[in-house]
Amino acid sequence: MLDANARALLDMVYRVGAPKFHQLDEDQARRSMVKLQHAFQPDAPAVASVLEVPIGRPGRGQGVLLARAYRPIGAAPSEALPMLLFLHGGGWCIGSVDTHDAMCRELCNAAGVLVFSVDYRLAPEHPFPAAVEDAALALRWLQAHGGELGGIAERIAIGGDSAGGNLALVTTLGAIDQGMPVPLLQCLVYPCVDIYAPTASRERYAQGYFLDEETLAWFFERYLPGPGDALDWRASPALAWDLLDRLPPLCLIAAECDPLVDEGRQLAAHLSAAGIDVERHEFPGLVHGFITLGGLFPQASRAIAVMAESIGRHLHVPGQTGPN
C-alpha cells in the first residue's frame, strides 16, 4: 500500500497533469528536477565547510571534473576524517551536486565524514561511458589527494542514488577489476543494476509510480546510444559475474513501490550468498526518488541515518552512535 505522502506526490504528478521526464527535452527535464527538489527537499543544514574541487581530466582539452567537498559540523579543521564518495541520481541525464546538496549535507553531519559529491558528465551530451570514467577518476583522485582535504585516503566509502548507485557499484567493480584499492563500503540507494532486468517489479510498477517505464526508456536511450552498450557490465553491473563476489560490504536502501526494487533485492541476495556483509532496508509504501525529498517524506532522514550508522561502523568514525 502506498504511503500517504507518496500518494499525494503521485496525485500531483499524474492528476494535475504535470509533464513527466520522458515528455520533455533534456533541458526541460533538468529544470523540472530542480523544481521538484526545491519544492520537497528539506532545508539544507549547516556544515563546517564546503569546498568546490576541480579535478583535471587526463588528456589535452578534456577540461575538469568538478566535485564538492563537505566537512561535518563540529569537525576541527585539522581533524582527519573518513570519506564518502557520492554520485548523484537522475538517470545519467539530469541531476547535479546542487539537486543533492541538502541530502549530502545531512549525510555528512549524520555520519561525521567528509562527503565528496561529484558533478560527473551527463548524457546525451556525454553518453556512456563518460559518467563511468568520471566516477573512476574521482575515486582515484580522492585516494591520491583526499588527505589534502583533511580526509583519510584508506577509509573511503562510496555511494549514490538511482543512476548514481549504478555508477557507485560500477566504480567499485572497476577498482576490483583493475587491482586498485577498493572502497570499504557501498551505500547504494535504489540502484539500477541491470538495464534489461526482467523483474516482476519492472512490470508491477511500470505505470503510475513516478519512475514510469517510458521514463526509464528515455534515460536508457540517452545514456546508452551504442549497440550493445546495455550488455556492458559497466552499464549493467549485474553482468559482472566474476567480480560481484569480491565486492565490499553493502548498505542498500530501497523503496517498496519502485520498478528497480527487485534487482536490488537480487543483488543483495547474491552478495549475501557469497558471504559478503549486506544490510538491506526497504521502506514500505515509498516510491523511487524519496531520499532527496525529505520535506515530504520523513523516512528520508531515517534512511540517511541508517546509512550514517553503516558508514560509522565500517569506517570507524569516532563518536558515531547511529540513528535513533
Residues serving a catalytic function are 162, 258, 288
- Contacts for 150 with CB less than 8 Å, ≥ 6 apart: 71, 75, 77, 78, 79, 80, 81, 114
Question: Is residue 86 within 8 Å of residue 116, measured between CB atoms?
Answer: yes
Q: 3-class SS at 92?
A: coil
Alpha-carbon distances of 224 from 105, 236, 239, rounded to whole Å: 31, 11, 16
Q: Tell the residue number behind the cell numbers 577509509, with chain if given.
A: 155
Please state, in angstroms and rounded to a whole number, the distance separating the CA atoms of residues 241 and 231. Answer: 12
Helix (H, G, I), strand (E, B) or coil at 219: helix
- In the chain, what's the furthest Cα-to-Cα distance? 53
- The H or E element spanning position 67 is strand 64-71
